Amino acid sequence: MAMTDWTIVTRSLRTRFFSTATTVVSVAVAVGLMLVLLMLQASGRKAFERGTGNVHLLVSRDASGLVSVLNGMFYAGAPLKPVTYAEYERIAGSLPLEWAVPVQLGDSYKGQWPVLATSPEFFTKFRPAEDATWTFAQGAAFAKDFELVVGAAAARATGLRIGSRVVLTHGAASSRASGVAGHEHGEFQYTVVGVLEPTGTPHDRALFSNLNSSWLIHAVDRLEREHAAGEHDDMDDHEHHDHASVSEKDLIDADRKITNIYLRVATRPGQDASAAVPVVMEHLRRHPEFQAAPLTVAGPVQEIRRLDAIVGNINQLLVIMAAVVMASSGVGIMLALYNSMQQRQRQIAVLRVLGASRGRIFGLIITESAFIGVLGAGVGLGVGMIGAQIATGVLRVRLGISISPETSPLILAYIFLMTLALSVLAGLVPAIMAYRTSVWRNLRPVA
């Protein structure tokens, strides 16, 4: 094969293999980082929207709709103020709803696995995502008090299976809804009766029990507090309020607390949206009954979009940082070529004597720089795609958020062309050096 400009470019890169390889790696890391950020940016928002399931409205007494959604559907923290079960019953019975599911959050297993106490309708009416339904890998939903269903990720991480007996932490450390600090009731042992299939939503990290179990523990705590305050003179020791002595008949309205209500407004068959949603929202917000202690009524999808608008700035910052990393890798290309110019001036001079024009020498260096960029972009795009898969795997396992990284051809082309442009730009200074190389000075015999 004849010698070509391409032969000179590739040989030059091969001769400086270490420098070339490190420069390519630095470009690849920058490109990979940029790709992962751009891919996750778009698909992350969709994953959050997906995680709100088929809920139209979320009712709570959190400080804002966004906090309500993050706490009530993504288990970000324990809600601050409760909603009474009586309020739930009034809401469920007075509005044109397809269904309303009460939810109580605040308890946990081993401090890190949230426990959601709810009604059986949670598994029959509520869908964790538009494209997912509840499926049991083992067992079935709870039917009695102190029975527990475990989400897929929680089961995998904790090793809980059918028949496992556990004690829950009642009143998570951050919870104020329960009015008590996190503590365990060893006398209340839950039995695992069901393990769920993965849904790709945050619910995979949760454990589920019925409301009554949680209320009974509340009742014990309340009775203990009352006893300590001397309100129950006829009860002279704590033994009166243990697991054996407290039953459903001991429950009062103050025990029957929930933290959220998942609502779905009645829709026409086959339709997801309903014009009644804003009407119900306004009704709940303005109803005189709730003016003393206003409810927070949130549209989960809208709140997630608001969140995206807020964190969008942070995303932009991250993308800018990735762009800075890319720019620094461009500087790396320039330095690698610039340093090589010191050693290659004789070679350039020889090529000039053999008939190479200044423009052709300039083109050789630009081609070399662009090739480093193309190699780095190729490796980086591959690494980025693998990295995005790993990142989404970690998010799925750790947070239960299922993100499908989007590999839009437009994004790939954009990153590739940006890297190419950057590498060409980086090659300009060395190429100008090569262009201006003095032939006769560099062909002098070396002393």
Spacing of C-alpha 146 from chain mean position: 31
Show contacts with other proteins in window 7-26 (CB under 8 A): 7-8, 11-12, 14-15
Question: Closest approach of Cβ 319 to other proteins, in Å?
Answer: 40
Site track for other proteins across 259-288, x = CB under 8 A: ------------------------------
Question: Closest approach of Cβ 24 to other proteins, in Å?
Answer: 19
Find the length of the chain: 447
- Using DSSP bridges, classify how beta strands 147-150 and 190-196 pair: parallel, antiparallel or unpaired: parallel
Question: Closest approach of Cβ 364 to other proteins, in Å?
Answer: 11
Half-sphere exposure of 254 (CA within 13 A, CB side): 8
Q: Which residues pair with 114 in a beta bridge?
A: 108
Amino acid at 390: I
Q: Which residues pair with 165 in a beta bridge?
A: 191
- Among 93-101, 145-153, 280-288, 347-355, the segment contacting other proteins (CB under 8 A): 347-355
Question: Closest approach of Cβ 14 to other proteins, in Å?
Answer: 8
What is the C-alpha radius of gyration for the chain, rounded to an integer number of angstroms?
A: 32
Question: Closest approach of Cβ 16 to other proteins, in Å?
Answer: 9
- Among 116-124, 353-361, 368-376, 389-397, the segment contacting other proteins (CB under 8 A): 353-361
Amino acid at 417: L
Site for other proteins (CB under 8 A): how many residues?
A: 31
- Of these, 230, 269, 270, 445, which contacts other proteins (CB under 8 A)? 445
- Of these, 352, 383, 430, 434, which contacts other proteins (CB under 8 A)? 352
Counting contacts by CB under 8 A, is residue 358 touching other proteins?
Answer: yes
- Of these, 95, 152, 153, 351, which contacts other proteins (CB under 8 A)? 351
Mapping DSSP to helix (H, G, I), strand (E, B) and coil, where does residue 265 land? strand
- Of these, 356, 374, 412, 425, which contacts other proteins (CB under 8 A)? 356
For residues 48 and 202, the answer to whether their CB atoms sit within 8 Å is no
- Among 4-12, 134-142, 167-175, 245-253, the segment contacting other proteins (CB under 8 A): 4-12
Q: End-to-end CA distance of the chain: give it in Å, rounded.
A: 36
Counting contacts by CB under 8 A, is residue 93 touching other proteins?
Answer: no
Question: Closest approach of Cβ 332 to other proteins, in Å?
Answer: 22
Mapping DSSP to helix (H, G, I), strand (E, B) and coil, where does residue 57 land? strand
Whole-angstrom CA distances from 207 to 141, 160, 247, 254, 302 are 11, 10, 23, 24, 27
- Of these, 138, 360, 412, 429, which contacts other proteins (CB under 8 A)? 360
Counting contacts by CB under 8 A, is residue 435 touching other proteins?
Answer: no
Question: Closest approach of Cβ 436 to other proteins, in Å?
Answer: 13
Rounded to whole angstroms, how far apart are CA atoms 206 and 184? 18
With respect to other proteins, which residue has the nearer C-beta, 191 or 347? 347
The label of the residue with tokens 């339709």 reads: 271
Helix 358-399 crosses helix 428-435 at what angle (to 10 degrees)? 160
For residues 209 and 201, the answer to whether their CB atoms sit within 8 Å is no
Amino acid at 46: K
Amino acid at 392: T
- Of these, 133, 347, 404, 407, which contacts other proteins (CB under 8 A)? 347
Rounded to whole angstroms, how far apart are CA atoms 429 and 431? 5
Whole-angstrom CA distances from 26 to 115, 147, 268, 342, 419 are 45, 54, 55, 22, 12
What is the DSSP annotation of 131-183? Answer: TB---EEEE----STTEEEE-HHHHHHH---TT-EE-PEES-TT--SSSS--E
- Among 215-223, 240-248, 355-363, 391-399, the segment contacting other proteins (CB under 8 A): 355-363
Counting contacts by CB under 8 A, is residue 357 touching other proteins?
Answer: yes
With respect to other proteins, which residue has the nearer C-beta, 287 or 360? 360
- Of these, 293, 321, 350, 417, which contacts other proteins (CB under 8 A)? 350
Spacing of C-alpha 129 from chain mean position: 15
Question: Closest approach of Cβ 438 to other proteins, in Å?
Answer: 9
Site track for other proteins across 327-346, x = CB under 8 A: -------------------x
With respect to other proteins, which residue has the nearer C-beta, 46 or 358? 358
- Of these, 93, 159, 355, 409, which contacts other proteins (CB under 8 A)? 355
Phi, psi (degrees; rounded to nearest 5) at 181 = -75, 160
With respect to other proteins, which residue has the nearer C-beta, 27 or 433? 433
- Among 28-36, 293-301, 348-356, 367-375, the segment contacting other proteins (CB under 8 A): 348-356
Helices (H) and strands (E) in the chain, counts: 13, 14
- Of these, 1, 275, 314, 410, which contacts other proteins (CB under 8 A)? 1
Non-local (6+) Cβ contacts of 306 within 8 A are: 65, 66
With respect to other proteins, which residue has the nearer C-beta, 6 or 390? 6
Q: Please give the residue ranges that form the binding site for other proteins (CB under 8 A).
A: 1-5, 7-8, 11-12, 14-15, 346-347, 349-360, 439-440, 443-446
